[in-house]
C-alpha cells in the first residue's frame, strides 16, 4: 500500500487551498500553472520542460524524499510572466519513496522587477483575479481556514472546486480517506476548496523567511515580489486514482 505524504498544518496553510467567495470573472486557464508545466508532473518531466535536469541544477538545489516521496527543485534566473526572476522553486508531493508530483511553484522576483507587467501577464493567462479567497484543509475532525483578500499588494485567482472536479463517487472516496471524522457541514465547506490557486504579491511572506528581520538574522535574502501557484489537492486526487487502479 503506498503511503500518502501528509503535509504539516504549517505547510498546508502555505499551500493556500482556497475557496472562491466572490469573483470578477472565471479564470481563462483553470489549471493556474506556470505555462509549459503541468500539475502532478514528475520532477524529471517538469525539469525537462524547462530545459534542465537534476544534474545541471546540482545537488544543493534538488531534494527528493526517498522515504515518503516529494521534494523540491530550485532554478535561478528564469523568466516568468514577462520578467526575469531571482529563483523559481518547484515543490513536489508524493505517494511513496522517490515519487514526485508537481504541487506548488513559487517565483521570486528582484525588488526592481516590473510587477505590474507580471500582473498583466497573469491576467492575460488566467483571467481577472477574484476578490477574496478562503483557505480550507481537513484535519482529523475539523477544517482549518485562512482568508486572503485581493488588494494593491496581493491578487488571487481560484480554479474549479473539488465539488466541481470530482464526481460523487470520488467525493465519497475522498471523504473516507481524509474527512471521515468531519461533520457534514464541514465536509461540504471543504469541498468548495479549489483544486488550483494563484497569488501575485509585492509583500509576500515566504515559508523560509517569515519576516525581513528573520531573513537578515539567518543570512537569507528576503524578496517582497513573488508569484505563488498551487495545485492544492493534486496529490490527494492522484492517491484516489491509485487506489482505484489497485
Give the tens place of pLDDT for each residue, 64-79: 998 889 999 999 999 9
DSSP string, the chain: -PPPP---HHHHHHT--EEEEEESS--SSTT---TT--TT--HHHHHHHTT--HHHH-GGGEEE-TTT--EEEEEES-EETTEE-SEEEEEEE-SSTT--EEEEEEEEE-TTS-HHHHHHHHHHHH-SPEEEEEEEEEETTEEEEEEEE--SSEEEEE--BHHHHS-HHHHHHHHHHH-TTS-HHHHHHHHTSBSEEEEEESS---SS-SSHHHHHHHT----SEEEEEEETTHHHHHHHHHHHH-
Query: What's the mean pLDDT in 194-223?
Result: 72
**What integer pLDDT is reported at residue 217 of this predicted model?**
62
Give 31 or 7, the one with higher predicted confidence.
31
pLDDT digits (tens, 9 = 90+) for 127-150: 999 999 877 888 878 888 777 899
Rounded Cα gap, residues 52 and 41, in angstroms: 15
SS (H, E, C) 53-109: CHHHHCHHHEEECCCCCCEEEEEECCEECCEECCEEEEEEECCCCCCCEEEEEEEEE
Query: What's the mean pLDDT in 111-132?
Result: 96
Give 15 or 94, the one with higher predicted confidence.
94
**What integer pLDDT is reported at residue 243 of this predicted model?**
65
Residue 209, pLDDT above cutoff 50: no
- pLDDT-based confidence at residue 29 (cuts at 50, 70, 90): low
Residue 53, pLDDT above cutoff 60: yes
Give 229 or 240, the one with higher predicted confidence.
229
Amino acid at each position: 500500500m503506498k503511503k500518502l505524504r501528509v503535509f504539516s498544518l504549517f505547510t498546508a496553510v502555505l499551500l493556500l487551498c482556497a475557496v472562491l467567495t466572490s469573483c470578477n470573472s472565471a479564470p481563462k486557464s483553470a489549471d493556474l500553472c506556470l505555462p509549459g508545466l503541468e500539475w502532478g508532473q514528475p520532477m524529471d518531466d517538469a525539469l525537462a520542460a524547462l530545459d534542465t535536469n537534476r544534474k545541471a541544477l546540482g545537488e544543493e538545489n534538488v531534494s527528493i524524499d526517498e522515504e515518503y516521496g516529494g521534494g523540491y527543485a530550485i532554478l535561478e534566473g528564469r523568466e516568468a510572466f514577462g520578467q526575469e526572476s531571482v529563483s523559481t522553486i518547484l515543490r513536489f508531493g508524493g505517494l511513496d519513496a522517490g515519487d514526485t508530483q508537481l504541487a506548488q511553484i513559487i517565483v521570486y522576483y528582484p525588488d526592481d522587477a516590473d510587477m505590474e507587467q507580471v500582473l498583466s501577464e497573469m491576467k492575460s493567462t488566467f483571467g481577472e483575479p477574484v476578490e477574496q479567497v478562503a483557505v480550507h484543509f481537513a484535519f482529523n475532525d475539523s477544517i482549518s481556514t485562512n482568508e486572503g483578500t485581493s488588494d494593491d499588494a496581493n491578487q488571487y485567482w481560484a480554479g474549479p472546486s473539488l465539488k466541481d472536479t470530482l464526481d460523487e463517487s470520488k467525493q465519497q472516496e475522498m471523504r473516507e480517506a481524509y474527512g471521515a471524522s468531519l461533520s457534514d457541514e464541514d465536509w461540504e465547506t471543504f469541498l468548495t476548496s479549489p483544486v488550483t490557486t494563484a497569488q501575485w504579491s509585492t509583500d509576500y511572506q515566504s515559508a523560509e523567511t517569515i519576516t525581513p528581520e528573520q531573513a537578515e538574522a539567518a543570512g537569507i535574502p528576503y524578496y517582497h515580489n513573488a508569484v505563488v501557484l498551487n495545485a492544492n489537492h493534486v496529490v490527494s486526487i492522484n492517491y484516489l486514482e491509485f487506489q482505484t487502479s489497485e
